[in-house]
Structure 1
Amino acid sequence: MFSALTASSEVVVEPPQSIKSNISVTTALVGEDDDNDYLGTKEFTLATTNTPTVAVEEKGVAQFDSATPTTIKDYHLIRTIGLGSLARVHLVRCRSSRKFYAIKVLKKTCIVRYKQLGHIKDEIQIMKALSDPQSNKSPGSSFILSCDSIFQDAHHLFLVLEYLEGGDLFTLISQRNLFHQAQNNKPLLSLRLSFDEAKFYASEIFSGISFLHRCGIIHRDINPENIVLDSQGHVKLIDFGLAKRIAKDTTTKTFCGKTDYMAPEIILGLSYGAGVDWWAFGVTVFEMLFGFPPFAHRNSKTVYEKIIAISYAVPAQPFDNDQDRQKVTDLFKGIFISDAIKRASARYIEQFSFFDGVDWNMVCSKSSKPPFIPSIESGMGDDKYFDKFPEDNDLQYGETTDHDEFNGIFDDFI
């Protein structure tokens, strides 16, 4: 789950050479955003609020709560729950409050080496803005991972994140039988979610994405591994490493994302906007219902070609009734459209018959009972839904130095 938070370079992929040459794809690796001056990104506020972003208490520390600790020494490191090329994520416990958190630790040398300055700075500024108390009052904000504080030492950046014990949606789909058997005392033969289960999660994911878009943010990495369950079984969107601030009616052009979830306009090197998130939303709903993405293939080049051609088929999967199958088919027909202008947007997606019966006020207030409530000890740092990662006993956190080897590049990151 939180391995998705480690900014692994695997989320950035290059199109096959044949597609590049045949379709004249313009690509940009993450860190080479064609419309982002990655050394000059400015602090920003959410479009939904006129209040300033979080106040900086002291150089190198961004606090969202005056009681929140601001150095790594204030936390007890328990174990690694995520590992990537740029970062390591630790399950930790605050020494003063006794609360559990997930701390994402980013290596400054790797950020510079892999040219990730712009995206990491954007991620930090986005997390700061989304954690502003004013933004948390907006419908859908409760479906976004929260950040308690951000600080740095001589060699690392630290993001103190909400700890979500329930595992990610990918695990829920892949271990569907185990969840079902545990709660119903009988096995299930299909590794997929039912229509009603998928609709429940889709409504919460939809609300979270809609909130981000109202804030002028596109996620650009919506997929089941970046959708996690809290202790009560409600979803939250995580990993803003590829997220982008974008003004209304403007576009961006960076080639990024996970292959199976990329919209055609990204693959083709075209300018794009919020529509790429709705495409990925459609792919995620498809995967919830059928257990695999609609354009899946073992060869990434073929995946690109299938996406561009909109070549997919709704499996002959048994539904409770023909009406449910038609609702699903209509939803995908509205989302899987090559022309982003014609693709269904938020206002149209929520009107599809797939969402018939959904009370959006109940969704945003989390009044509806989730299909699954994780079997965990809430608030106790339960980590059963996390993979095991090798520990590094030579980690040196909290170091300070009089000489800044990065020449002030990170001074205004926090």
Structure 2
Amino acid sequence: MEDFGDFRDLDVIGNGAYGVVYRARDQTNGSYVALKKILISITSDGIPMTTLREISLLKNLDSYNHPHIVKLLDVIHRRADRDNSLELYLVFEYLERDLADYMSHLPPSAVIPTHQIQRLSRELLNGIDFLHSHRIIHRDLKPSNLLISSQGTLKIADFGLSKSYDFDMRLTSIVVTLWYRSPEVLLSQSYNSAVDIWSAGCIIAEMYAKKALFPGSSEANQLGKIFELTGKPLLEDFPNCSVDLDQFLMTIPCEPRQLIPRLCDYANDLLKKMLNLLPQNRLSASACLLHPYFHQELL
């Protein structure tokens, strides 16, 4: 057990992008916080941009106090034991569990009620819409990065891979955990905020199915599973593609409900438009929120 100023760490609760996350107690008021520990090697260029980017983005977002974005409470730093290293601790509000943990603890025969999936999906897309309206792309949306409060509210967390974006970025393809990675990233194409919509569609589908929609074992296997839903793309759909598309069998597109039978008509249509193979044809987060799926009463 260690002390970090006013905070004492209790246990490890997860591993985020570029850091280990601890549950800790604020010794001034007894409340719990989440401490994200980042060990930084200080070079001649100073602190790495990935770290500065996350702090800058979160501090900027906190001023809006959005209900579906995790709050950054404090930043603590101290010298590490090794030379030219710095220990940085991002102090976040503590939420009891994440969506992956919630789903994994459901009884085998239980399902998430449809009205609850609708509410969590709305909160997820509200958070994404807020990020995109501020020109921020998350780039690593997955169930373990969606925290759930004791009141059941969803909040987006872990901004270690987030970036302020320009249209059609051509950046490293190592963004987004494989099962939630969009086809354009897998195909090493330029990409934009539509990658978050793809990830969100995978997450919503997973809430209905209680299992990952595209549980690929490699990038090629991941693409194969995606093409089973969307159909194999044409070469002109992804010009200068770095992947040999001839290795994949020609497939006929199918409806999401063929993979997830419990989808209602509106849920099927929403996921079809979020999981469109072509990023330019996917709905934006704000358009998703206007979809009839969110304006029906579900049990």
**Which structure has the larger Rg?**
1
* AA of the residue aligned to 1:253: L
The partner residue of 1:254 within 156, 172, 177 is 172
Tell me: CA distance 1:171–1:222, structure 2 relative to 1, closer, same or farther (3 Å). Answer: same
Tell me: CA distance 1:229–1:117, structure 2 relative to 1, closer, same or farther (3 Å). Answer: same
Kindly state the Cα deviation for residue 242 of structure 1 after the two structures are TM-superposed: 0.7
Q: Does 1:126 align with 2:57?
A: yes
Matches of 2:290 and 2:223, distance apart in 1: 29
Write the mapping of 1:171-250 to structure 2, written as runs, cut at 5 A.
171-177=101-107, 189-190=109-110, 192-247=111-166, 249=167
Determine if contact 1:295/1:307 at 8 Å carries over to the other structure. Answer: yes
Tell me: CA distance 1:193–1:278, structure 2 relative to 1, closer, same or farther (3 Å). Answer: same
The partner residue of 1:108 within 34, 37, 40 is 40
Tell me: CA distance 1:85–1:279, structure 2 relative to 1, closer, same or farther (3 Å). Answer: closer
Determine if contact 1:259/1:304 at 8 Å carries over to the other structure. Answer: no
The partner residue of 1:281 within 191, 200, 204 is 200
Determine if contact 1:264/1:308 at 8 Å carries over to the other structure. Answer: no
User: Counterpart in 1 of 2:275?
Assistant: 336
Q: 1:374-406: CA deviations, max 9, x gaps?
A: xxxxxxxxxxxxxxxxxxxxxxxxxxxxxxxxx
Matches of 2:213 and 2:109, distance apart in 1: 21
Matches of 1:102 and 1:347, distance apart in 2: 30
Root-mean-square deviation (CA), in Å? Answer: 2.6
Matches of 2:153 and 2:181, distance apart in 1: 25
Matches of 1:143 and 1:88, distance apart in 2: 22
Kindly state the Cα deviation for residue 338 of structure 1 after the two structures are TM-superposed: 2.0
Gaps of 5+ in 2: 80-85, 232-253
Q: Does 1:94 align with 2:26?
A: yes
The partner residue of 1:307 within 220, 226, 250 is 226
Tell me: CA distance 1:250–1:299, structure 2 relative to 1, closer, same or farther (3 Å). Answer: closer
Kindly state the Cα deviation for residue 117 of structure 1 after the two structures are TM-superposed: 2.0
Gaps of 5+ in 1: 1-70, 178-187, 359-370, 372-414
Kindly state the Cα deviation for residue 299 of structure 1 after the two structures are TM-superposed: 4.8
* AA of the residue aligned to 1:341: Q
Write the mapping of 1:155-174 to structure 2, written as runs, cut at 5 A.
155-165=86-96, 167-174=97-104
Kindly state the Cα deviation for residue 246 of structure 1 after the two structures are TM-superposed: 1.6
* Secondary structure of residue in 2 paired with 1:269: coil
Matches of 1:232 and 1:296, distance apart in 2: 30
User: Counterpart in 2 of 1:72?
Assistant: 4
Kindly state the Cα deviation for residue 97 of structure 1 after the two structures are TM-superposed: 2.9
User: Counterpart in 1 of 2:244?
Assistant: none
Determine if contact 2:120/2:154 at 8 Å carries over to the other structure. Answer: yes
| Residue identity (%) | 27
Q: 1:68-96: CA deviations, max 9, x gaps?
A: xxx92222222222347953322222222
* AA of the residue aligned to 1:291: K
Kindly state the Cα deviation for residue 337 of structure 1 after the two structures are TM-superposed: 1.4
Kindly state the Cα deviation for residue 214 of structure 1 after the two structures are TM-superposed: 1.1
**Greater RCO (Cα-Cα under 8 Å, separation 6 or more):** 1
Kindly state the Cα deviation for residue 284 of structure 1 after the two structures are TM-superposed: 0.4
Kindly state the Cα deviation for residue 98 of structure 1 after the two structures are TM-superposed: 2.6
Determine if contact 2:132/2:193 at 8 Å carries over to the other structure. Answer: yes
TM-score (norm 1): 0.58
Tell me: CA distance 1:101–1:336, structure 2 relative to 1, closer, same or farther (3 Å). Answer: same
Tell me: CA distance 1:305–1:276, structure 2 relative to 1, closer, same or farther (3 Å). Answer: same
* AA of the residue aligned to 1:131: D
Matches of 1:75 and 1:120, distance apart in 2: 21
Q: Does 1:152 align with 2:77?
A: yes
Kindly state the Cα deviation for residue 297 of structure 1 after the two structures are TM-superposed: 3.8
* AA of the residue aligned to 1:75: F
Determine if contact 2:17/2:161 at 8 Å carries over to the other structure. Answer: no
Matches of 1:252 and 1:352, distance apart in 2: 30
* AA of the residue aligned to 2:275: F
* Secondary structure of residue in 1 paired with 2:195: helix
Matches of 2:291 and 2:145, distance apart in 1: 24
* Secondary structure of residue in 2 paired with 1:153: strand
The partner residue of 2:14 within 82, 89, 93 is 82
Kindly state the Cα deviation for residue 357 of structure 1 after the two structures are TM-superposed: 3.4
Q: 1:33-56: CA deviations, max 9, x gaps?
A: xxxxxxxxxxxxxxxxxxxxxxxx
Determine if contact 2:17/2:158 at 8 Å carries over to the other structure. Answer: no
Kindly state the Cα deviation for residue 352 of structure 1 after the two structures are TM-superposed: 2.2
Q: 1:94-127: CA deviations, max 9, x gaps?
A: 2223322111111113x87xxx922222111111
